[in-house]
A = this chain, B = another copy of it.
Amino acid sequence: MEKILHIDKNKISAMDKRYRANFINSVTGFKSANLLGSISTDNIENLAIFSSITHLGSDPSLLGFITRPNSAPRHTYKNIRDTGIFTVNHVNENIIKEAHQTAARYDESISEFKAAGLHTEYLHNWKAPFLKEAQIKIACEYVSEYQIKENDTVLIVAAIKGVYLPEKALNDDGWINLEITSGVSINGLDSYSKPKLIDRFSYAKPNMTPSSILKKD
């Protein structure tokens, strides 16, 4: 019989800071793995890994992510506010170590693209750098932000202005198969997983059992 732990609020409060960061960062489930590309007004390119990028809505097409603008250097936030634009680039299984390395606290004058051994790409006159190694790349424009007063973070809301992706990953109903692009997910602060597709289901309706809508080759 496996043992189930109950970690109550007192145990959570009593945790060592680093232990709690690992625990709480893991406990909400798997997260997206993206690299944000941006550029400063001095033309210093910046690349940083984010695990909080989330779909906000598709009409208008918006995404959001959480950042902490008031502590430590936050070059990504400053660049986005200064220039109004950035890119979102999917991490894939071939670049997880490089992606992780972009989290190091480099000086503002250092490009994390170079420091991590990755490469920029400029596409269709978008002023922010894309990541050459990414298979899915999104051009984003800053729309607004919401201060989350409970912990001094900010939710950035951005508009999706363009997407690059391999044709083979795009299904005829608009669904993108992220397994085909070797996408990864993040578990906690520092671990990377490769999701394998189990199934895709029909739209859920009362009194109907979902059926598989996955196209078999």
Within A62-81, the residues touching B (CB, 8 Å) are: 62-64, 66
Contact A195 B204 (CB under 8 A): no
Contacts of A8 in B (CB 8 A): 124, 161-162
Q: How large is the interface on A (under 10, 10 to 19, 20 to 34, 35 or more residues)?
A: 35 or more
**Interface status of A177 (Cβ within 8 A of chain B):** yes
Contact B28 A32 (CB under 8 A): yes
Say yes or no: A4-B155 contact (C-beta < 8 A), given A17-B59, A100-B201, A175-B191.
no
Contact A104 B208 (CB under 8 A): yes
Within A146-164, the residues touching B (CB, 8 Å) are: 146, 148-151, 153, 155, 157, 160-164
**Interface status of A193 (Cβ within 8 A of chain B):** yes
**Interface status of A46 (Cβ within 8 A of chain B):** no
- Selected A-B contacts with CB under 8 Å, 30 pairs: A4-B165, A5-B163, A6-B163, A6-B164, A7-B164, A8-B161, A8-B162, A12-B61, A19-B173, A21-B59, A24-B61, A26-B175, A26-B178, A27-B55, A29-B183, A30-B195, A31-B54, A56-B148, A59-B151, A62-B151, A101-B204, A101-B210, A102-B204, A103-B204, A110-B206, A175-B191, A177-B191, A192-B199, A192-B201, A193-B196
Which residues of A line the B interface, CB within 8 A?
2-9, 12, 15-34, 51-64, 66, 88, 90, 93, 96-97, 100-107, 110, 115, 123-124, 136, 138, 143-144, 146, 148-151, 153, 155, 157, 160-168, 170-171, 173-179, 183-185, 187-206, 208-210, 213-214
